[in-house]
Structures are given as C-alpha cells and as structure tokens.
C-alpha cells in the first residue's frame, strides 16, 4: 500500500510504466523523492468506502534510497470515524529485484488523528513479474492481533496491469480476499470478504485520470467494516460497500 485508494495496486500499475523508461540522472541519485496529490469521487479501501461514498482528497510523499529502502507518508479525508476525519499512513520497507522478479516488503501504520482506539498496524509483502505484455503482482498484508482488533487479519490479493502500446492507457485489475478482524462488524458474524477492481488509467504527464469499477461480496445485512465498524446514523446497512464506479484525478511530482 502506498499512494491511492488502492495504494498497493497503484504502485503495481506504475511498475511496467517505470520499467519502460530509460535510466535518468534522477535514478542515479542515492536518495530520491516522489509524490502525488489526488482527488477521488469515493475513497475505496479494499472494496469498501471509507468516505461514506463521498469525494475525498489525498496526497502522499515518499523517499527512496539507492539500496531500495524507502519511507513514505500518505493521507486522505474520510468519513467521521470515532472522532477522526483524516487517515494518515506512515510506511517503510525495502524494494528489490531478483532477475525478472520484483519484491516489496514493509510495515504500515494506519493512523486516525483525533480518533479513539482507531490506529491499526500491518505487515505487507508482494512479488511482481512480467508475463507477456502484462505486469502481474501477488501480495499479502497481515495485521497481527492488536488493541483495536479482536483477532488477526489477512489480505491476499492478485493484481495485473497492461499498458496498451503507443497509447496513454493502462488497463488494471485487482482481486482480493480478506479474512479476520478487519472485516468483522460489531456482531462478529462476518469475518471474510472478497473484493475486486477493474479499470483503466489515462496518463498525460504529470496528470493521470483513472476510472474503475469497484465492488465486494459483503452481505446486505452487514453493518460495518473496520475502520468504519460503527454504522453511520441514517446509513442503510452495507450502503458504504455497494459496488460503484470511482473516478480519480492525480498529479504526480
């Protein structure tokens, strides 16, 4: 996870585009910085809206060293969550390559300033490679037992990205399977979820426009999903997890 409503997917989508670029003086520096600012019509995290299906603004900044060690900061507006209206993610890890295989491992803290009993910590790892014209990724995020979870949580996902030659278009997709405390509502009856994303990005440097159809298989009776485990007053059950089309507008720097 790094820069977007599906931050891990965003990094995976960027890999084939970066791989096609020639080496530059910037890449030879021992330390480099990158970032982006994004507007989304709905902040979706693993298929579920964390903005109550309203628009959100997001921004991120990352520093990476030549050995592959990196640290980053990412933030987004969210629906009110136990007193918090902002999500701040702090993360760090290592990226490296072994032949045609790229790896990424690290730890991320999801922080909600002003919230009570809200912060969550995860370990993550992924492996990416090219198969024909497509970049494929498989990854796993694990949230161990901690104060805000009554059980551990695991998120396994499969992603793909295909850049259409001689066009600014990249087709992307993601399929995720989540089990454990991050999917449990206040009843504890639902502890698993499958989510999906299919869409396309249109890159016009430094601007990228994205369109994606995002959904999940949570039951209609489901009342909440972490970090929105408490139903929003007046909100219908599962309304925030309803399948939808999300449009994004990003500026990289």
Top-confidence range, 99-103, 144-148, 171-175:
171-175
Half-sphere exposure of 52 (CA within 13 A, CB side): 16
pLDDT band at 198 (very low <50, low <70, confident <90, very high): very high
Encode pLDDT of 203-245 as tens digits. 999 999 999 999 998 876 665 555 544 444 444 445 667 899 9
Walk me through the domains of the chain, giving residue ranges and CATH numbers: 7-252 (2.40.160.40)
Encode pLDDT of 145-173 as tens digits. 988 887 899 999 999 999 999 999 999 99
**What's the pTM value of the predicted model, to 2 decimals?**
0.84
């Amino acid at each position: 996870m790094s820069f977007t409503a599906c931050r891990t997917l965003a990094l995976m989508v960027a890999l084939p585009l970066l791989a096609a670029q020639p080496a530059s003086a910037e890449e030879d520096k021992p330390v480099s910085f990158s970032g982006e600012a994004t507007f989304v019509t709905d902040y979706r995290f693993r298929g579920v809206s964390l903005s109550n299906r309203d628009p959100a603004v997001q921004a991120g900044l990352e520093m990476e060293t030549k050995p592959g060690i990196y640290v980053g900061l990412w933030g987004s507006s969210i629906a009110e969550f136990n007193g918090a209206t902002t999500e701040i993610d702090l993360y760090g890890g290592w990226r490296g390559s072994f032949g045609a295989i790229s790896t990424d491992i690290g730890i991320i803290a999801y922080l909600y300033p002003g919230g009570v009993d809200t912060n969550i910590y995860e370990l993550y790892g992924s492996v990416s490679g090219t198969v024909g014209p497509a970049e494929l990724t498989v990854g796993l995020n694990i949230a161990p037992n901690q104060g805000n979870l009554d059980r551990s949580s695991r998120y396994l996902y499969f992603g793909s990205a295909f850049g259409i030659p001689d066009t600014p278009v990249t087709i992307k997709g993601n399929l995720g399977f989540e089990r454990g405390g991050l999917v449990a509502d206040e009843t504890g009856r639902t502890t698993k979820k499958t989510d999906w994303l299919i869409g396309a990005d249109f890159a016009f440097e430094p601007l990228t426009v994205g369109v994606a159809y995002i959904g999940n298989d949570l039951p209609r009776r489901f009342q909440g999903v972490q970090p929105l485990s408490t139903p929003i007053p007046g909100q219908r059950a599962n309304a925030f997890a309803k399948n939808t089309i999300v449009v994004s507008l990003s500026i990289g720097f």
